[in-house]
Structure 1
Amino acid sequence: MFRMLLVRLRVPVRFSSPWKTDRVDPLEDVLSLLDTRSYLSDGLIAGGTWAVDFEPPGAGVKFNAVRRGHCLLEVEGLDAPVELAEGDCYLLTRPRKFRLLSDPAAVPKPAHPLFAAAADGWARTGTGDDVELIGGGFSFGTRARTLLLDNLPPVVHVPAATPQAATVRWAVDRIDTERRTHRLAAGLVTEHLAVIMLIEILRLHLDRDPASVTGWLAGLTDPVVASALREIHTHPERPWTVATLAGAAAVSRSTLAARFRTAVGRGPLDYLTTWRIELAANRLRRTDAPVAVIARDVGYGSESALNVAFKRTMNLTPAAYRRAN
């Protein structure tokens, strides 16, 4: 339906960042596992009274930015539309139908024929050019919904009026410039700009509306829990206990256990097990390292110990998971 520029986002991993300290950022750590790809679709120009219906954007994340004018966003399952002003952008984190419109009374048109007829990178609807949007999205590997997307609300809205949104607006401006001018290495520039935009939107959302996130993302908003998460992500291979994690966070064992469960929805050792399994699964998908070596690297004393934990979490043995992926 859309003509797309597809680029892979090479989010820095722990072995490749020359500026990285000996502390691992959990958000960066998770993003490095997601095999993220971005795409840009044709833009949309609209005017007068109009509405466009979009099919669910697949398993990844859809984004749009309003470059001119204002409109409404309606998303399946949400009670009220989101008002979008010039400079606003949003992420859709669920595969749901959505509608962009100027007026609830407008008769919607399906997006497919509009974008199939797009000329010079722009689809058009209505009369005039009151509103201009650019858009695209992010697709991820198989574990993205469990690791990231299910912890976010269905819509992450970044108003232009938000003081901290300057970096997002700058990235969107640059993405728009690159898609219009097609300068040398535009794909690579867009790739890194998209990384910046995605991370800045996640940062802004965590700062502005921490109550709307769940799981480990919610843990990042609590300084005590965030400290324990950093320890787990920095040294997943260590024989952590609640007591040693609490010591690293400079709180009592009971305090860490209570705050971790409240924020993340599970205990610290449960989270540690889950993260070790995610790391093991990532190695199984991407490398041919022996299972025994992977087990040691992620904190299990033997291949059999990893086999038991992996099967309990993934419903497959490591060997079967590797064959399937």
Structure 2
Amino acid sequence: MTDPLAEIVTLLQPQAAFSKVVSGAGRWRVRRTQAGEPFYCVVLEGASRMAANQRAPLVLEPGDFVLVPEVFTFEMSSLEPPADTESHTAPVELIGGGFRLGDADAPAEVQLLVGHCMFGSPDAALLLSLLPELVHVRGDPRLATLVKLVRDESRAQRPAREVVLARLLEVLLIEALRSAQTSTSPGLVRGLADARLALALREMHERPEKAWTVAQLAETAALSRSAFFERFSRAVGIAPMEYLLSWRMALAKNLLRRRVGGIAQVAERVGYSSASAFSVAFARHVGVSPSRFLQDG
């Protein structure tokens, strides 16, 4: 059966962009404002505090892994941050590699592997909207092993380094997202964690060409129509038909970009009985007609 999470992460085309080992001692605080870059952090030793996108601060412990698919505001600090709320600590590059925050002469109290990646898909904004805003995983040794492999590969100058990094990062993202079974943030992962909703989500992904109705999807999930609609909207963050439309448009754009058949064939594969009906829906959702999208692509 189709795995919706793997499909979306594959379509995202994750690519390694940057990673570094950061240690801290004493009181320190760093702040960043970023244009929606995906951020990850693994705590190798010690503990620290982190807040992203105006969310409540998290206390990170050894072995924790955090993934924020889109970072706009970000703050990380020692467990006891500096008294001055406006203070900012500049990282100091260490001899032998890595960066230090806080007291450069004191023994390290915390060590982190932090980094950000980029998504090669032009549809990243759409696909990211289907994922949780923040993933926090604790006590997962598989993730720690994957992050170590990413770090080692990023430092080495081996043949096909970028290809290996991209594949490792893809696996890392899937592992992090599927480990987030208790995520409180609405999104695809939270929907898949609900056994009944997962049945409907997998059907939508496996058969996007079917003329689904809310009633049919509710029957698949063994729920009443109203209960399914409310439960799906609360867990995934958007209504069932809105999710299905977003997924169909993501698939359509991918098929058109790869020149997999003409507009009529793509329309049929994503659930439209005619090229004209598909063109109207595509133009409304994407902003340009399928033919113009093909020309621009």
Q: Does TM-score exceed 0.5, indicating one fold?
A: yes
Determine helix, strand or coil for the equivalent of 2:100: strand
Determine helix, strand or coil for the equivalent of 1:100: strand
Alpha-carbon contact 1:87-1:169 (below 8 Å) kept: yes
Distance of aligned partners of 1:50 and 1:142 in 2 relative to their CA distance in 1, 3 Å threshold = same
**Unaligned segments of structure 2, at least 5 residues:** none
Equivalent residue for 2:167? 192
Q: Which amino acid in the other structure matches residue 144 of structure 1?
A: A
Determine helix, strand or coil for the equivalent of 2:111: strand
Structure 1 distance, partners of 2:61, 2:239, is: 41
Please tell me whether residue 63 in structure 1 is matched to residue 40 in structure 2. Answer: yes
Q: Which amino acid in the other structure matches residue 145 of structure 1?
A: A
Q: RMSD of the TM alignment (CA)?
A: 3.0
Equivalent residue for 1:235? 207
Q: TM-score, normalised by structure 2?
A: 0.82
Higher strand share: 2
Distance of aligned partners of 1:181 and 1:94 in 2 relative to their CA distance in 1, 3 Å threshold = closer
Q: Which amino acid in the other structure matches residue 135 of structure 1?
A: V
Q: Which amino acid in the other structure matches residue 47 of structure 1?
A: A
Deviation at 1:74, TM superposition (A): 3.7
Deviation at 1:186, TM superposition (A): 5.1
Determine helix, strand or coil for the equivalent of 2:75: strand
Equivalent residue for 1:132? 111
Please tell me whether residue 86 in structure 1 is matched to residue 58 in structure 2. Answer: no
Determine helix, strand or coil for the equivalent of 1:208: coil
Please tell me whether residue 173 in structure 1 is matched to residue 148 in structure 2. Answer: yes
Alpha-carbon contact 2:126-2:250 (below 8 Å) kept: no
Deviation at 1:196, TM superposition (A): 2.5
Equivalent residue for 2:185? 212
Alpha-carbon contact 1:45-1:129 (below 8 Å) kept: no
Deviation at 1:199, TM superposition (A): 1.5
Distance of aligned partners of 1:173 and 1:37 in 2 relative to their CA distance in 1, 3 Å threshold = closer
Q: TM-score, normalised by structure 1?
A: 0.75
Alpha-carbon contact 2:130-2:236 (below 8 Å) kept: no
Deviation at 1:71, TM superposition (A): 2.2
Alpha-carbon contact 1:54-1:110 (below 8 Å) kept: no
More RCO (CA 8 Å, sep 6+): 2
Matches within 5 A, 1:257-276: 257-264=229-236, 266-276=238-248
Match of 2:279 among 307, 321, 325: 307
Distance of aligned partners of 1:119 and 1:289 in 2 relative to their CA distance in 1, 3 Å threshold = farther
Per-residue CA deviations over 1:114-168 (Å, capped at 9, x if unaligned) read: 4xx5655422343234132222222223332332346423x43223xx3xx1211
Structure 2 distance, partners of 1:118, 1:320, is: 52
Alpha-carbon contact 1:261-1:268 (below 8 Å) kept: yes
Structure 2 distance, partners of 1:46, 1:253, is: 53
Equivalent residue for 1:152? 132
Please tell me whether residue 290 in structure 1 is matched to residue 257 in structure 2. Answer: no
Distance of aligned partners of 1:180 and 1:47 in 2 relative to their CA distance in 1, 3 Å threshold = farther
Deviation at 1:253, TM superposition (A): 5.1
Alpha-carbon contact 2:10-2:170 (below 8 Å) kept: no
Please tell me whether residue 98 in structure 1 is matched to residue 93 in structure 2. Answer: no
Determine helix, strand or coil for the equivalent of 1:94: strand
Structure 2 distance, partners of 1:122, 1:261, is: 44
